[in-house]
Amino acid sequence: MNRPGINPAVILGLVIFALGALLAVMNAQPTRPQPAHTAHTASQESHSVWDGVYTQAQAQRGQALYTQQCSSCHGEKLTGKESEDSPALTGGDFQSEWTGRTVGDLFRKILRKMPQDNPGKLTPQQSADLVAYILSFNAFPAGKAELPPQSDALATIHIDAKKPNQK
């Protein structure tokens, strides 16, 4: 007499499957989150204006553009003009205004609000070149790579009036 029931081959298959799944779970390595200092790529790591974040050629382009677009308000020596209500881009006033902020903050201000008589006229590349000139004028060292014309990348570069302690 044949009794309806579960086929022994099906039971064996289920047992083998379950054992395989159990072994796979037991052998799996737990994933650990990366520490914060390694979770970013090198291009996203934070650094300082003292790290050589622009090139001399970029600063020279920025200087030419500054002479054309900015010097009438900020002065030839970047000292600002009270008569134009324009801030200094060098010296103690500049340092107190920008220390602790990022190059991205300065870039965005130039890109969105300058020149004052025609805000938004400058391209992202022109704004990055102007930032390079301002950094150069303030005696921050040049490096081997240009400042990129992207706000996010520039937001990782801190403006420090004094060179941070070296590790």
Mean pLDDT taken over the chain:
83
- pLDDT tens string 74-121: 999 999 998 888 999 999 999 999 999 999 999 999 999 999 999 999
pLDDT of residue 84: 83
* pLDDT band, residue 2 (cuts 50/70/90): low
* pLDDT band, residue 17 (cuts 50/70/90): low
Sequence ranges of the domains in the chain: 46-158
Residue type, 88: A
Task: Identify whether the C-beta of residue 56 lies closer than 8 Å to the C-beta of residue 142.
Answer: yes
Token digits of residue 112? 């969105």
For residues 73 and 130, what is the distance between their CA atoms, to the nearest angstrom?
A: 14
For residues 80 and 74, what is the distance between their CA atoms, to the nearest angstrom?
A: 4
**Minimum mean pLDDT among 1-5, 33-37, 79-83: which range?**
33-37
For domain 46-158, give the CATH number: 1.10.760.10
Higher pLDDT, 127 or 82: 127
Give the count of alpha carbons within 13 A of 134, CB side only.
Answer: 29
